Structure 1
Amino acid sequence: MSNETLSSQTEPEIKVGPNPDGSFDPVLTDKDLEKCGRRWKMAVMGFNYETQLAPSVIFAEADALRKIYADDEEGYKRSLENAGRYFNVTPPVGGLLLGAALAIEDKQHNQGLEAVNDLKVGLMGSMSGIGDSILWTLVPTVMGSIAAYMAQEGNPVGIFLWLAVGLVIFWWSLNNWKTGYKFGTSLITTLADKIPVFTEAMSVLGLTVVGALIPSVVSITVGLTFTMGDVTLNFQEGILDMIMLGIMPVLATWIVYVLIKRRVNLIAIIVAIIVISMVCSAFGILV
């Protein structure tokens, strides 16, 4: 059996839509998006330290994706696999991004999965920055202070003010899937010829974001020092940092990436990291 025949059996072809440009007619309604919003409210319940909120994305979008791929079982499976990739965002603003991604998939099906993933990876950092600074910090701090002061003065309005703020954020997070979906639809209909450029830009942005995350998430400091006479050289500051700041986190991330690409068991990788860290710390190699 030839490799080409084997490939065609293991990798079913991506279906092309009936429209002249190969796209499909959108099928999702406001009710579908509202359901996604309700299921997304359970987002944090699916959090894990491997793919973060990816299980929550699958849970929120499963029924909508089933409707999109009603007659394409393989397409549905591919879509769920794509939805299961690493994703993390401030939950109240997540619907904006996921709604836009869902609009792309509703129109292009599996043909748009790359654009969907690039959009999510490229914008989840900036969306989280907005969500964290405004919804998690600014609004609760300002409105909470006002409500607390009013309550302290014996004014019962403070209680209802704080409840109202929470309800507004809750309502908005339920309905912003529809706002995001409209943006995604506009992106496809008005900028259809620029989708490849947009995808490429999101890919570059996504790689930049992921690259910037490495030194902020992975912390490795070498504690070795060399002494010659009155001169003491710190290996981390005197050598490694001179080569490139954050070189050890980048190197460690690259090694883990290679191991994962070679399908090494994740549990084995985690155990190895813990053991190596403990041994190196005991001997003063890492601090």
Structure 2
Amino acid sequence: MQKTEDIKTIDKKTLSHSFHLWFWGALTCFSQEHMQTFGYMSSMLPIIKKLYPKHDDQVKAIHAYTAFFNTNPMLGTVIVGITASMEEARANGKQIDGETINDMRAGLMGPIAGIGDSLIDGTLIPILLGISLGMSTGGSPVGAIFYIVAWVLIAYFGQRFLYFRGYKFGDKAVSFLVGAQGAAVRHAVGVVGSMVVGGVLATWVNVTTSFKLRGSDGKVFLNLQDKLNSIYPGLLTVAITLFCWWLMSKKHVSAIWTMIILVGVSLVGVLLGVFNPGLSY
């Protein structure tokens, strides 16, 4: 039986150091080949140095974190906390090796990415942006300030909570994240995210056309937007939304190229008189 004085533990200062390295450097040396691998290794260095005084043991332990890693950087914090707990158990002689730790990391990447992308990118950010846009009416800077402050506070304290919660529960959190409960949470978050995105779309996106046909006397006999409003208000908005969805979902066009295509369509539309930017020179 291991003596109490021989048990290796990670103090709160070391855990905080590890967390801050992840918070500030999760995307350190980011590339398509390694993604978040080096950011993860950096965050584990204080843990490894604390648990393994000998350099050779440190080199052997850190090798488990050289494998490819990529997930949602915010919710991925919980994985770093879990591995810190597992690393502590390994240093104390538990039946955990580098392969076990790496298998856990690989198994959690997908579920955490699914939850994080839906919860953060699909729900939280649109909500914050919606509130900020409402506060920016008339060109007020309050909306931008609110978004920056709210995002920084949520990102920092949210990730810190997840890190220490992952460390506290250790590998017990794995069964929840990859089990039936985790799947239910991912599905629920996805539904909520879709509703929020749809609400933001209906509130803030408005595509209209200025296309008109005039007779020989110069009078307008066809106002396309009025006709569309009488048939299906917001039809162009829906059409553009479905077009963007088709590009990104079916044709796998990146978001950046989708925006470039929209800019091109807008420019051509203005030149042809289909769209009116409402600018005066």
* TM-score between both structures, scaled by the size of structure 1: 0.53
Which residue pairs with 1:69 in the alignment? 52
Distance in 2, Cα, partners of 1:97 & 1:108? 16
Which residue pairs with 1:8 in the alignment? none
AA aligned opposite 2:43: A
Residues 1:162 and 2:162 are matched in the alignment: no
Structure 1: state its 5+ residue gaps: 1-17, 189-194, 203-287
Structure 1 residue 33 displacement after superposition: 1.4
CA-to-aligned-CA distance 1:11-66 (integer Å, 9 cap, x gap)? xxxxxxx629xxx7241122211111111121112212223211111111112111
Partner of 1:38: helix, strand, or coil?
helix
Residues 1:151 and 2:136 are matched in the alignment: yes
Partner of 1:65: helix, strand, or coil?
helix
Residues 1:173 and 2:151 are matched in the alignment: no
CA-to-aligned-CA distance 1:190-247 (integer Å, 9 cap, x gap)? xxxxx9xx8xx99xxxxxxxxxxxxxxxxxxxxxxxxxxxxxxxxxxxxxxxxxxxxx
Whether the 8 Å contact between 1:98 and 1:177 is mirrored in structure 2 is yes
AA aligned opposite 2:104: L
Structure 1 residue 179 displacement after superposition: 1.2
Quick check: which has more Rg, 1 or 2?
A: 2
Distance in 2, Cα, partners of 1:26 & 1:158? 48
Whether the 8 Å contact between 1:51 and 1:84 is mirrored in structure 2 is no
Whether the 8 Å contact between 1:36 and 1:177 is mirrored in structure 2 is no
Whether the 8 Å contact between 2:81 and 2:163 is mirrored in structure 1 is yes
AA aligned opposite 2:15: L
Distance in 2, Cα, partners of 1:70 & 1:172? 32
Whether the 8 Å contact between 1:37 and 1:175 is mirrored in structure 2 is no
Residue 106 of structure 1 is aligned with which of 81, 88, 92? Answer: 88
Structure 1 runs of 4+ aligned residues shifted over 4 Å read 153-157
* Bigger mean CA deviation after superposition, 110-119 or 144-153: 110-119
User: Superposition pairs for residues 29-68 of structure 1, below 5 Å?
Assistant: 29-40=11-22, 41-68=24-51
Distance in 2, Cα, partners of 1:46 & 1:173? 21
Structure 1 residue 155 displacement after superposition: 5.7
Q: How many residues align?
A: 170
Which residue pairs with 1:184 in the alignment? 170
Residue 70 of structure 2 is aligned with which of 88, 91, 98? Answer: 88
Structure 1 residue 105 displacement after superposition: 1.1
Whether the 8 Å contact between 1:99 and 1:180 is mirrored in structure 2 is yes
CA-to-aligned-CA distance 1:68-116 (integer Å, 9 cap, x gap)? 1114x33321221111111111111122011111101101238522221
Distance in 2, Cα, partners of 1:50 & 1:163? 31
Structure 2: state its 5+ residue gaps: 180-281
User: Superposition pairs for residues 258-269 of structure 1, below 5 Å?
Assistant: none
Distance in 2, Cα, partners of 1:89 & 1:116? 16
Distance in 2, Cα, partners of 1:165 & 1:178? 21
Whether the 8 Å contact between 2:21 and 2:42 is mirrored in structure 1 is yes
